[in-house]
Amino acid sequence: MNLNRRQVLWAGGGTGAALLLAACGGGDETSAKSPAKANEKPRPGGTLRVGALGRASAITRDPHGSQANESDYLIISLVHDTLTVPGTKPNTVPRLAASWQASDDLKTWRFTLAKGAKFHDGTPVTAADVVWSLKRLRNTPAGASRLPGIKAENIKAEGDDTVVLVSDYANAELPQLTRLTTFVLKKDTKDADLGKAPGTGPFKLDWFRSGNARLVRNDDWYGGDVYLDAIEVKIFESPQAMANALLAGQIDVASNVGAVAARTAEKRDDIQIVRRPNDMAMPVVMRTTDGPFADAKVREALRLAVDREAMVKQVLSGYGTVANDILGTGDPAYAKDIPQRKRDLAKAKQLLKEAGFDTSKTYKLLTTEDIAGLAESATLFASQVREAGVKVEVVKQESATFWDKTWLKGDLYTTYWGTNDSVVFFASKTMVSDSGQNEAGWKDKEFDAAYRKAMATKDAAARAKVLHELQQIEYDASGYLLWGMADGIDLAGAAVRDLPTLPGYGRVQLEQAWLAR
């Protein structure tokens, strides 16, 4: 599978995208130049010009289609609403669904639609529209991974304002599945009309051309005040060109432009650097079923051999945070109290000895250049573990080859994920024994039991306790070495205010943004 960074961010869609403790931090979490300034009252008016990455060949207008372009996703998510959206705490917050209720067995979920929600042509949104849209989504080739466990026939309307989803199994975090892909269209919208189909979102489509679009404010939006008169989305093939456009004042926001651009902009007082923590995970995967890393002691040794601070500083230019080998760092339920692993070369060497690890051999670490910093992280990792006596040779593979031959199969490789606000997301997708994308081939009965128990626990406090257990097992024994988390980085002009600071696709929530000019 050849996925680029954008597709991977999108891939998170299945169980929702990323997000994190961002908004609560406001000015503190982000840089000193955060766009949120205290005591300023939002001003209505103005047009925000936003640059977003995308390739002309990959343009798609289908809200339920196979979307690789951030630009397309941005446009679609401003025009159409999903049932829920990523939030800070909790990580799933209402949008078109105002509230939801689970049955006692956590299989049947009832979503109540927001009062006053209507399409841009004035017709009210009904449960029938939502059911039609969800079924359409479920019946796409990727439908099974976007709404896992929910069959199309188990999506039903109850009256005009309630949608019922029945899962094949207990799923305490089912609403998380409805965060990123459940765009609602009018029932029976034809494929040919997708591009101009009315949405329910904060902005209406004025025009769309070759990946660029102009959106105007929907004064009738049920979700609250929208300040901007219009948003213009400009598609950029390269982050470099997007950064240049921002530096030259041709756009107001360069969305997800990356650390390299941020370094350039550091010298400019008229540019804001917006950091969105926990945006991207780039773990090293060690195969647990067989091969040289099957012994848990060897994996532990490598986790102790890596110098996490140095990785964050050099690979991410400091735009990131140290991590603790548990995936889902942005989850409100993330176990912050599990002690941070630190570099301990002596202990690493001792563990390798105990495990009888063959240090005379050279081991291959397979990587790609799919996203910025990934191959660099592999190179630095290799030089760090050499100090513990493990010889690692980095092999860069072409993206398509990597996803076809190495991913899910290799002994030692790098991977990356853009949905980092959910511990359960990773547990269900990549760590439970029978999960479809078990990257390290990990099979742990205790972990599986903890996962199943968590998913069947209705009480939030009790579930948090089980999730803590689950993370402890992951920390001790999984096949992942997660050394750090990369920030998502947007650049913005001086007048832009209240940009979202959520990681991943939380960045598209521009309905609160305004211009101080």
Partner 1 sequence: MAGSLTRGEPAAASGPRPVPAVLRTALYAAGVLAHRILLLAVLLAAVFAAVELLPGDAADATSERGESAADLAARRHLLGLDRPVAERFWDWMTGLPTGDLGTSARGEPVADLLAHPFPNTLLLGGLALLVTLVASVAFGCWAAARPGGPLDRGVSASATGILALPEFVVAVALVLVFALWTDWLPAVTLTDADGSPASWEMLVLPVLALAIPQIGWNTRIVRAALADEAKAPHIETAVLDGLPRHRVLTHHLLPGALPTIAAGIATSTGMLLGGAVVVETIFNYPGIGSVLAGAVADRDSPVIAGVVAVTGAVITGVLLLADLVRAWASGGRT
Q: Which residues bind partner 1 (CB under 8 A)?
A: 1-4, 7-8, 10-11, 13-14, 55-62, 65-66, 68, 141-142, 144-146, 207, 209-210, 212, 214, 234-238, 240-242, 244-245, 247-248, 250-251, 398-401, 403-405, 429, 436-437
Helices vs. strands in the chain: H and E counts, helices first: 15, 21
Residues 230, 215 contacting (CB under 8 angstroms)? yes
Min separation Cβ 257 and partner 1, Å: 13
Min separation Cβ 271 and partner 1, Å: 12
Min separation Cβ 9 and partner 1, Å: 10
Min separation Cβ 283 and partner 1, Å: 14
Longest dimension (CA), the chain: 71
Cβ-based nearer residue to partner 1, 106 or 251: 251
Cα distances (Å, whole numbers) of residue 212 to 48, 71, 237, 510 = 13, 8, 12, 17
Cα distances (Å, whole numbers) of residue 421 to 91, 204, 279 = 7, 29, 9
Strands 97-102 and 108-113 come out as antiparallel
Residues 367, 395 contacting (CB under 8 angstroms)? yes
Min separation Cβ 248 and partner 1, Å: 4
Q: How far apart are CA 348 and CA 297, in angstroms?
A: 9
Min separation Cβ 71 and partner 1, Å: 12
Per DSSP, the residues of 212-256 read: EEEEEE-TT-TT-----SEEEEEEES-HHHHHHHHHTTS-SEETT
Residues 218, 120 contacting (CB under 8 angstroms)? yes
Min separation Cβ 249 and partner 1, Å: 8
Min separation Cβ 1 and partner 1, Å: 5
Cβ-based nearer residue to partner 1, 377 or 415: 415
Residues 18, 507 contacting (CB under 8 angstroms)? no
Q: How far apart are CA 367 and CA 399, in angstroms?
A: 9
Residues 483, 322 contacting (CB under 8 angstroms)? yes
Min separation Cβ 29 and partner 1, Å: 28
Instruction: Give the helix/strand (H/E) hosting 108.
Output: strand 108-113
Min separation Cβ 255 and partner 1, Å: 14
Q: 479 Cβ partners below 8 Å, 6+ apart? A: 285, 286, 287, 288, 293, 299, 439, 440, 441, 442
Q: Which of 196, 145, 151 is nearest to 8 (CA)?
A: 145
Q: How far apart are CA 420 and CA 436, in angstroms?
A: 18
Min separation Cβ 241 and partner 1, Å: 4
- Read off the tokens for 274: 């917006």
Cβ-based nearer residue to partner 1, 108 or 244: 244
Min separation Cβ 147 and partner 1, Å: 11
Cβ-based nearer residue to partner 1, 265 or 323: 265
Residues 320, 416 contacting (CB under 8 angstroms)? no
Min separation Cβ 131 and partner 1, Å: 22
Q: 402 Cβ partners below 8 Å, 6+ apart? A: 366, 367, 368, 370, 413
Cβ-based nearer residue to partner 1, 88 or 419: 419
| Residues linked to residue 165 through DSSP beta bridges, in sequence order | 109, 155
Q: Which of 171, 472, 505, 175 is nearest to 334 (CA)?
A: 472
Q: Which of 332, 316, 267 is nearest to 502 (CA)?
A: 332
Cβ-based nearer residue to partner 1, 300 or 370: 370
Distance of CA 349 to the CA centre of its chain: 36
Cβ-based nearer residue to partner 1, 68 or 492: 68
